[in-house]
Amino acid sequence: MQKKTGVAILGSTGSIGTQALEVIEAYPDKFDLQVITAGKNAALLIEQAIRFQPNTVVITDESQYQYVKDTLWSHDIHVYCGEAALCQVVEATEIDVVLTALVGYAGLKPTLHAIWAKKNIALANKETLVVAGELVTTEAQRNGVNIYPVDSEHSAIFQCLVGEFHNKIEKIYLTASGGPFRGFTYEQLQIVTKAQALKHPNWDMGAKITIDSATMMNKGLEVIEAKWLFGLKPEQIDVIVHPQSVIHSLVQFEDGAMKAQMGVPDMKLPIQFALTYPNRWKTDFPRFNFMDYPQLTFQQPDRQLFKNLDLSYQAMEKGGTAACTLNAANEITVQAFLEEKIGFLDIAAINERVMRDMPVVFNPTLDDYVRMDKESRELAVKNISRL
Ligand SMILES: NC(=O)C1=CN([C@@H]2O[C@H](COP(=O)(O)OP(=O)(O)OC[C@H]3O[C@@H](n4cnc5c(N)ncnc54)[C@H](OP(=O)(O)O)[C@@H]3O)[C@@H](O)[C@H]2O)C=CC1
Ligand SMILES: CC(=O)[C@@H](O)[C@H](O)COP(=O)(O)O
Ligand SMILES: [Mn+2]
């Protein structure tokens, strides 16, 4: 009998995490769920732990540790809490692959620890590569670790590259839905609400990425993610708005041939492929029906109105800690928008100011990233208080 794949899911209570559990549940004889973790949602973590009986659970929010531990006392499950625990639990011998489904900068250190422990990574947490792509990809190479993309666009590119890894990429096109505010004017964007911004036209996702999609920062983060995953230069990465989100992205090779990967917008397929590469396992995921999509359309993104996309290209061109700064500012401004402390257009405006005013450290160490993340957050908070 073939050995089961030992899996750790960091962020099992989120949108990607819960869908990953559906994938795991469909193959009980092939996956061995070792670790699940949550930020604050203790109730769901407990429910998942009882259902899936992993070896270990972590609740990052320390105030909920006793509750989780007491509730799971009769189960043979290790319970830990805090950020440091995330970095430790990924190192367990039984784990083959770590799915990074937590959101934001919090993903960086656990991912690095998993890489240092020589675990393959199924990467949903794009911020890890945005913040520290240089360090993370170097460490992955040094440790012989594969990083399999989960993000739908990067999974699409990766699927197009299977059997083509020896061929040179001329260019890739990342498709963007354009978000809920595609086609809006400046005046309209001035008065959009949090509730409107949280309504993505095609995908049901966590709050932070949904706001990022609305500001097109998500596409900017994905451009940087693609640079590191596929070793591309900025001019080899283009963004095309495709409102239907059916073509998940495209690769153009040196002979001019283009390959695209398409399907209904459903994250379970990219999650599963990241866990089963190079194999495809039979699923009952929804199938594509051409008659549901009589027209697939394309347009240029509006880079003047959706400034975050350009800021991401600028950060990528600058290199060093520039993207770490942009990401930090964006995490603060998105949270402030979600708390209704700033308006929609303030997000990109403050991100731009923080990028302009923060120095850039080149050839950064992990300590440099940690410091620049902290200082960039502080500067973003200062900018918000000045509004
Ligand atoms: N959702 C999607 O379809 C897609 C998501 N992604 C990327 O995947 C990642 C996850 O996104 P998504 O699932 O939507 O996000 P969610 O907000 O739905 O879930 C985030 C998860 O991370 C946990 N978490 C949040 N903050 C922390 C923290 N500081 N420390 C530890 N754990 C934390 C949450 O725990 P809790 O809820 O218990 O507090 C939850 O389990 C993001 O980087 C996103 O950009 C990429 C492509 C598509
Ligand atoms: C599902 C996924 O991968 C998201 O990143 C999605 O692509 C967001 O949509 P936007 O194209 O609107 O950013
Ligand atoms: Mn995506």
The predicted structure's pLDDT at residue 376 = 99
The closest residue, in CA terms, to atom 2 on ligand 2 is: 152
pLDDT digits (tens, 9 = 90+) for 91-135: 999 999 999 999 999 999 999 999 999 999 999 999 999 999 999
| ipTM over cut 0.85 | yes
Out of 173, 218, 247, give the residue to mutate to test ligand 2, the one with the largest number of ligand atoms within 8 Å of its CB. Answer: 218
Tell me, yes or no, if the pTM score tops 0.95.
yes
CA of 49 relative to ligand 2 center, distance in Å: 29
pLDDT digits (tens, 9 = 90+) for 195-204: 999 999 999 9
The predicted structure's pLDDT at residue 2 = 84
**Is 220 labelled as part of a ligand binding site?**
no
| CB-based burial, 358-380: b 16+ in 10 Å, e otherwise | bebbeebeeebbbebbebbbebb
Q: How far apart are CA 372 and CA 364, in angstroms?
A: 10
Residues of the chain with pLDDT under 50: none
Out of 16, 202, 221, 246, give the residue to mutate to test ligand 2, the one with the largest number of ligand atoms within 8 Å of its CB. Answer: 202
**Is 40 labelled as part of a ligand binding site?**
yes
The closest residue, in CA terms, to atom 3 on ligand 1 is: 205
Domains and CATH numbers, the chain: 5-145 (3.40.50.720)
Of 343, 100, 159, 302, the closest CA to residue 219 belongs to 302
What is the DSSP code (8-state) at residue 299? B
